Structure 1
């Protein structure tokens, strides 16, 4: 989870102008799987395109 936050800190938050591509396998590693998927779903809801 903290690695994901670090990526956002270094590269900016996801938006229509700053898109990210997540191609899977990010929730079955470590103890923060729920936090990671909820964060990614929240950004998807904020910017559905």
Structure 2
């Protein structure tokens, strides 16, 4: 995790810590899991739904 944070820090020019990266990945993973669960229960999220 620290190696990925260092690589992103060098590439972007912003200081990114491993804990910050871990929190971002957890929230993204939770959002993806929620989206997949909603799709598996048959809730239609297509543009026609809105």
TM-score in terms of structure 2 length: 0.38
TM-score in terms of structure 1 length: 0.38
Q: Between Structure 1 and Structure 2, which shows a larger proportion of helix residues?
A: 2
Which has the greater radius of gyration? 2
